[in-house]
Amino acid sequence: MLGVHKIYQPRDKTMTVEGMTVKMKWSSAFARERAGQFDRRQAFIDSECVRRMAPDTPRLKGMLIKSAIQGTKIGSGEIHQDRRYARRQYYEHKEKSYWFERMKNRDKDQILEGAKRIV
């Protein structure tokens, strides 16, 4: 699901200040390269979040974990768990509620470091 977010090509600009003219010319590949880089980083973050929140997700038969894998479009920036009981488990489970938030607090620095290494 790459290409969800759009990065626009900046316009070239010419400025004159006190008799000096400066021209800023952007590479014609700027937007395409940055969009590709952004998409690869977003896909990495999405897949890492799904993978790292699995141990904190309540499991009886593992359906909530499978739901996150199947319901998430990697690269979209959103994680979906489309089981009808997922919301209740997320907010009301006695021991393992808010599993995404716990994963984020524990692993966000490692996930962001991994995303920074992607070129």
pLDDT confidence band for 10 (50 / 70 / 90): confident
User: For the whole model, what pTM was predicted?
Assistant: 0.77
Spell out the domain ranges in the chain: 13-116
pLDDT confidence band for 2 (50 / 70 / 90): low
Task: Look at 1 and 71; give whichever has higher pLDDT.
Answer: 71
Q: Encode pLDDT of 94-113 as tens digits.
A: 888 898 999 999 999 999 99
In degrees, rounded to 5, the angle at the alpha carbon of residue 84 between the alpha carbons of residues 79 and 89 is: 75
Q: Encode pLDDT of 18-73 as tens digits.
A: 999 999 998 888 888 888 889 999 999 999 999 999 998 888 888 989 999 999 99
Q: Helix, strand, coil: what percent of the chain each, to 5?
A: 50, 10, 40
Q: Are residues 42 and 77 in contact, defined by beta-carbon separation less than 8 angstroms?
A: yes
Q: Name residues whose C-beta falls within 8 Å of residue 5's C-beta, 6 or more positions apart in sequence.
A: 35, 38, 39, 42, 77
